[in-house]
Amino acid sequence: MNKSIDVKFDEQHIWHPYTSMQSPLPSYPVKSADGVRITLENGTELIDGMSSWWSVIHGYNHPVINQAITEQLSKMSHVMFGGLTHRPAIDLCKKLVELTPKGLEKVFLADSGSVSVEVALKMAIQCQLGRGYKNRNKFVTIKHGYHGDTFGAMAVCDPVNSMHSLYSDILPKNYFIDAPKSKPNGTFNLAELDELKALLQNSNEHIAALILEPVVQGAGGMRFYHPDFISGAKAICEQYNILLIADEIATGFGRTGKMFACEHAKITPDILCLGKAITGGYMTLAATLCTDKVALDISQCEAGVLMHGPTFMANPLACAAANASLSLLMTGEWFEQVKQIELGLRDGLQACLELETVADVRVLGAIGVVEMKKAVNVAEIQKLFMQYGLWIRPFGKLVYVMPQYVISKQDLTSLTSGIVNTLKAL
């Protein structure tokens, strides 16, 4: 018998992300998802513009990833990673070392993006201790950033967006510099590096690392900035022996048109965080990579080891999904797909610029952003999008999409024309 879904229970008992329990936004029950489509319990089919928050790059219900997980399931779904290892983890880490910028050799497999950021921050502090810097336990980051919801990660998120005021006595205090304004395809204003230069000159004895989202700042405002900021910042950090942590949890695996956004700046960070699309959005897994030098210096610190080891570290099912997802990427097809999506988004969203309510339209790789002049009413606008058969979840003033790489030209056109028509109707 097909039992009806208990949405009331959901509403009364289950937290959803950043949602009030008192007056929650609607949560639509999903029955299944396949390719670029999400099917609701009531039979409505929606083209997914969100890739489930950057992660489902190859589409839902992908036969190759399904098969990899099923095969792994029949062998083992999990074993502890302390004192044991396994083929899925080794295969995955080989691929990660091969794919990521040259010089990143050591891999820590974590269980979510936020945890991989925590690991990166700890790596940086322990590395500096290993180098003999006793007080380097703070971080520099750029305003409007987002790095996750755990305390360490939150402490390097934009202080206003992530409401640091709520946690003022418990959150570690870090350094926030102005976010670069030069656009990725324009000329870079060198003066944007001055604040970092001055800060590192004056306070380097307290600073372990600079952490940033290269080229695209995601949940902190969907801002795009010039890659020369990153190469310039890396050079300044090197002068003071300060590490650069690149958080590519959102931008990694082709999303910006390069396999990793750091490649736009032609740099290798000292530490790199990956997540989201690593498993093709099948399950939670993340990775923190670092250079040999960082790993060696960590081993020189008092602990002698990296102080982290989660229960589900290197979960074999997640590693199997990631191996399959990365094999799909390694065919290289993504490159042309992302290029076509970029063209389609540029072309399709351009009409938004003519709307009185729109402040800016920007596209990079397979990311399209329409910034409104005022914050949108999420519940209301989502209903309108759904009338066009679209799943889009804006936040604040930002209506944005990052479609799956496998989206067809026709579905991409439905997505962009649905956005234009919805915004016209507001």
Q: Which residue among 158, 228, 247, 270 is the active-site one?
A: 247
The minimum distance between CB 112 and ligand PMP, in angstroms, equals 4
Q: Which residue among 122, 258, 276, 397 is the active-site one?
A: 276
The minimum distance between CB 288 and ligand PMP, in angstroms, equals 11
Question: Which run of H or E residues covers position 153?
Answer: helix 151-154
Taking the least distance from each CB to ligand PMP, the nearer of 35 and 252 is 252
The reply, when asked if residue 10 is annotated as ligand binding, is no
**DSSP code at position 158:** -
Neighbours of 409 (CB within 10 A): 11
400: annotated active-site residue: no
The reply, when asked if residue 146 is annotated as ligand binding, is yes
- In order of 44, 322, 341, 345, the CA distances from 36 in angstroms are 14, 19, 14, 16
247: annotated active-site residue: yes
The reply, when asked if residue 247 is annotated as ligand binding, is yes
Q: Where are the alpha helices (DSSP H) in 254-408?
A: 262-265, 292-300, 316-329, 333-349, 378-387
The minimum distance between CB 269 and ligand PMP, in angstroms, equals 13
Question: Which run of H or E residues covers position 234?
Answer: helix 227-239
Taking the least distance from each CB to ligand PMP, the nearer of 249 and 369 is 249
The minimum distance between CB 261 and ligand PMP, in angstroms, equals 10
The reply, when asked if residue 54 is annotated as ligand binding, is no
3-state DSSP assignment of residue 192: helix
Question: What gap in Å lies between CA 187 and CA 180, rounded to an integer?
Answer: 12
Question: What gap in Å lies between CA 88 and CA 72, rounded to an integer?
Answer: 8
Strands of the sheet containing 45-48, edge to edge, are 30-34, 37-40, 45-48, 390-391
Question: What gap in Å lies between CA 184 and CA 167, rounded to an integer?
Answer: 34
Where does this chain bind ligand PMP (CB under 6 A)? 53, 112-114, 117, 146-148, 213, 218-219, 247, 249-250, 275
What does the DSSP assignment read for 29-70?
PEEEEEBTEEEETTS-EEEESSHHHHT-TT-BS-HHHHHHHH
Taking the least distance from each CB to ligand PMP, the nearer of 286 and 298 is 286
3-state DSSP assignment of residue 46: strand
Taking the least distance from each CB to ligand PMP, the nearer of 249 and 423 is 249
The minimum distance between CB 276 and ligand PMP, in angstroms, equals 6
The reply, when asked if residue 311 is annotated as ligand binding, is yes
The reply, when asked if residue 53 is annotated as ligand binding, is yes
Taking the least distance from each CB to ligand PMP, the nearer of 277 and 415 is 277
3-state DSSP assignment of residue 197: helix
Taking the least distance from each CB to ligand PMP, the nearer of 247 and 371 is 247
Q: Which residue among 18, 102, 134, 169 is the active-site one?
A: 18
The minimum distance between CB 383 and ligand PMP, in angstroms, equals 25
Q: Is 257 left (phi over 0), alpha (psi -120 to 50) or beta?
A: left
The reply, when asked if residue 292 is annotated as ligand binding, is no
Q: Which residues are annotated as a binding site for substrate?
A: 53, 146, 276, 309, 393
Please enumerate, by residue number, every residue annotated as part of a binding site: 53, 113-114, 146, 247, 276, 309-311, 393
Query: Binding site for pyridoxal 5'-phosphate: residue ranges?
Result: 113-114, 247, 310-311
What is the set of active-site residues?
Answer: 18, 146, 247, 276
